Amino acid sequence: MDHSSPTLLPPAAAREFGFFVDGAWHGGRPLFERASPGHGVPVSLLAKCTAEDLNLAVAAARRAFEDRRWAGLSGAARGAVLLRAAEILRRRRDEIAYWEVLENGKPISQARGEIDHCIACFEVGAGAARLLHGDSYNSLGDGLFGMVLREPIGVVGLITPWNFPFLILCERVPFILASGCTMVVKPSEVTSATTLILAEVLAEAGLPDGVYNVVTGSGRTIGQALSEHPDVDMLSFTGSTAVGRSCVHAAADSNFKKLGLELGGKNPIIVFADSDLEDAADAAAFGISFNTGQCCVSSSRLIVERSIAAEFEAALAAKMAKIRVGDPLDPATQVGAITTTAQNEVILGYIARGQAEGARLLAGGGALDLGRGHYIAPTLFSGVTPQMAIARDEIFGPVLCSMPFDTVEQAVALANDTVYGLAASVWTKNIDKALTVTRRVRAGRFWVNCMMAGGPEMPLGGFKQSGWGREAGTYGVEEYTQVKSVHVELGKRTHWIG
């Protein structure tokens, strides 16, 4: 199939995938059938792995770490593998994007852009592998020399979500590999295909057996067992805050493994009257509709200066009404399908709740019947108060609630009035206001007069209940290392016993 063709169709039959452990493909397990959320036809068959399969994967990762087949290589050698992987990804870009669309429901044009970002992640990871270093202390006197070493933490368990199956995977894997760690990956059971395809890519790139292992299955079985596993040194989890909390308990109850958590968000976009309102309206529409709002950094709370609130909401509603919702395999589509039936029901439930609580519907507000699949029109609520559920809960769908403010202090207070702190955006032409808001709003990622901008050079992560730790860039490599202090005595020891 030509995956770059403008007339893509779902496959005639579902593709069966095995699972990948110690450099080999395994099968013979019960299969889970995944139907395309945009087309309603079966597209993939994924193995329902067992706890025994997970144990084999962890054991393979442990052997690969302990015999130093990967950690013992130079940063240059590890970087070379990552660069070869980037080249293979570039060659297979359209194929991988196609599978992202089939299982997730996101538009094909978006998916292709995401794969470009993933290629960049491997290229940045390759450079980071060569630059990772420790430190030295020449200030301990003539008789003592100090060194600080960064060593890979060991076996990493990686649990990824269904909203960005490949992008989130690639914002972690090259940086974990750059550190010298080995890993066991558990993708979402509804979007496992591209995680398994990456196994093919890394094997072709020359990654040693056992360094990258993939075990598929449900979060309640395989995910829980991975988070509890006593031979996993660190767990990286991306998903809901509720499940992240269970990972904290599992880590504490097993081996106190280190955790990296990227969790929920209820992210503000703050619009001042002196901003470019046309640009801000377009960014707000994009920020809530990208990936059908199934995005942890979606700008789901519009905090707009009262003097222009009505004007801005009208312009924004007009923008949102023009968004092209449709078949995710159509290159013209901007918003695709909701990924799961359960999430579709959650989103529609919050829209109904917002209306029941008295919020005014200005755009969207319901499901779209396109003949097959689950689609929801990008939705805008006005007259929202901070106490409403649509203003407090992470809906994880294309639902934006608007709240007015009068002063900078009120804008900051509204922005911080959440248990989350993942991302935020501010729109103003006044540099004083821009920097004041940037410094006072508690969020791990911040955009000034832009939305979801940046690349893998910059760290990703949240404040408060949005998580722990940082991914990507040099911070993301260091996250998967331990720091060791080394003291070297020079000359003869001064004896304690006379």
Token pair of 460 as six digits: 């990703």
Residue 34 to residue 15: CA distance in whole angstroms: 10
Nearest to 297, CA basis, from 431, 458, 156, 430: 458
- From the candidates 118, 295, 296, 401, which is the catalytic residue? 296
String of DSSP letters for 326-390? --TTSTT-SB---S-HHHHHHHHHHHHHHHHTTPEEEE--SEE--SSS-EE--EEEES--TTSHH
Residue 481 to residue 234: CA distance in whole angstroms: 10
Nearest to 194, CA basis, from 48, 455, 20, 6: 20
Annotated catalytic residue 189 = no
Task: Please classify residue 120 by burial: count the beta carbons closer than 10 Å to its beta carbon, then call 0-12 exposed, 13-18 middle and 19+ buried.
Answer: middle
| Per-residue CA distances from 21 to 24, 117, 179, 183, 470 (Å) | 6, 27, 21, 10, 27
Strand (E) or helix (H) holding 109? helix 108-131
Backbone angles phi, psi at 350, to 5 degrees: -70, -35
- From the candidates 262, 313, 394, 479, which is the catalytic residue? 262
Dihedral of alpha carbons 333, 373, 401, 383, sign? positive
Answer whether 198's CB lies under 8 Å from 173's CB: yes
**Tokens 């755009």 sit at which residue?**
363
Which residues does residue 145 pair with via DSSP β-bridges, in sequence order?
488
- At position 120, the amino acid (one-letter code) is A
Annotated catalytic residue 296 = yes
In this structure, are strands 375-376 and 367-368 parallel, antiparallel, or unpaired? Answer: antiparallel
What is the phi-psi region of residue 32: left when phi exceeds 0, alpha when psi lies from -120 to 50, beta otherwise? beta
Dihedral of alpha carbons 70, 76, 79, 85, sign? negative
Terminal C-alpha separation, the chain: 82
| Per-residue CA distances from 32 to 195, 216, 342 (Å) | 16, 10, 17
Catalytic residue numbers, as ranges: 262, 296
